Amino acid sequence: MAAFAIVMMVCLVLIHGGQCKGVFNAAEALHKAKDAENGDVGPDVKAFNVLDYGAKSDGKTDTSINFRRTFEAACNFHGDAMMVIPEGEFLMGPVLFSGPCSNPSLLIIQVNGIVKAQSNMAYYRGGGDDTDWITFQAIDGLIVSGRGTFHGQGSQVWGFNDCARKSNCVRLPATLKFIKVTDAIIRGIKSIDPKGFHIMISMSRNFRIVSVDLQAPGDSPNTDGIHMSKSDLVKISKTVIATGDDCVSMIHGSTNISIKKVICGPGHGFSIGSLGHYDDEADVSGIIVKNCSLRETDNGVRIKTYKTDSPSKASGIIFQDLIMTRVRNPIIIDQEYGNTKYSQPSKVRISDVHYINIRGTSASKVAVDLLCSASNPCQGIHLDNVNLQYAGPPNDDMPFSSNCRNARVAYHGFQSPPPCR
């Protein structure tokens, strides 16, 4: 009650400027996102249609400035607002949608059309962290919802990706980037063939990603489905991810992440890491991946760290109730990821990791592979009812097994493959 009174007092101070959005109610926000997808937002929400700001839906005319002007009008409106991208095809180069916004409630971006990215890399100044395709920045309260599609036209530029040959490569532009965004709902949209990541989240808090569809070929390079760093309270559910890299990747500073009812494949599975890549990395903790399925992915659930002297921790991790179908590396910890030329062991400490009710089939004979650091052995690794069966090539006489190095593992219930000796 006292906390509510404080919030109301702050709102009274700020209400004249239209800046107070009150306490974020996730259930109400999700309901509002569903209403926005169906176009049922009520008369109190003012619509700002990109067509009214000069955008052409012919799929040929660049609409970047028209989209930016529409967003600025909606963002600066001192009332409930919705930016509308109607049915049709819109061509657009890189755009920054930046706050803070003046709306008293969550700003809605309703996407029902097809938004296609400029394919010429000259528009993106070579890609990299300062030029993604569509960036939402410094916004408190955001809904992106609808039945529309973001098409990155990545197939025309994937050949420029040199990350397989260079460790310090320049990544290609992400389709949707959220940086310093709080209290956000992403619902219903589809992303096809991004140049880089489908969705990138950084320095953000309190995200819900629900019922999105992310699609790219299995051989598309570095097209992570959802990639996050330095972010807290991210919940992903009822989502389909087929891509050429990690379905969901959580790197440094990812905390309190929930991934439930996600279908992954093709792709590289659910990954924590790579960790230990940068100096002074923030810890990773509070991760749960539950009730998900993976089909013919390169990995199932993976924790990966570099062999560097950058210390951090990864702890409080639960992988539970997962179904795997012909997954190449179903359960894997790799603390020698990438840096084969470095002799020092990884300084990342991995602890309190639980694998519970993992079942299905493995495409490799080593279905559980725990390769931990010699100087920082994995602590508190628990395998509880793991039931994986081999479904790979029949001409391999190698036994179906587990491999453990520098890992302290406790086993509970049924175990297939057999526990490490």
Given the residues 268, 277, 283, 369, select the one marked as catalytic.
Answer: 268
Contacts of 388 (CB under 8 A, 6+ apart): 324, 330, 358, 359, 360, 361, 362, 367, 368, 416, 417
Q: Encoding tokens for residue 402? A: 């587990």
Find out whether 252 and 229 touch, Cβ atoms under 8 Å: yes
Q: Encoding tokens for residue 413? A: 């219930």
Q: Cα-Cα-Cα-Cα dihedral of 183, 105, 145, 209, to 10°?
A: 10
Give the residue from 300, 182, 176 showing the smallest Cα distance to 232. 182
Report the C-alpha gap between 172 and 222 in whole angstroms.
8
Query: Got the DSSP string for 50-96?
Result: GGGGT---EEEEE-HHHHHHHHHHHHT-SS-EEEEE-SSEEEE--EE
Find out whether 142 and 181 touch, Cβ atoms under 8 Å: yes
Residue 338's alpha-carbon distances to 88, 276, 303, 305, 335, in angstroms, are 44, 11, 13, 8, 9
Q: Encoding tokens for residue 343? A: 């002799």
User: Would you call 63 exposed, middle or buried from its count of C-beta atoms within 10 A (0-12, 13-18, 19+)?
Assistant: buried
For residue 54, the tally of other CB atoms under 10 A from its CB is 13
Given the residues 224, 245, 298, 369, select the one marked as catalytic.
Answer: 245
Give the residue from 237, 239, 272, 232 showing the smallest Cα distance to 255. 232
For tokens 């049922």, the residue is 40
Is 252 among the residues known to form the active site? no
Report the C-alpha gap between 6 and 264 in whole angstroms.
43
User: Cis link prior to 266 (omega < 30° from 0)?
Assistant: yes
Is 268 among the residues known to form the active site? yes
CA angle 35, 64, 126 (to 5 degrees): 115
Q: Which residues are catalytic?
A: 245, 268
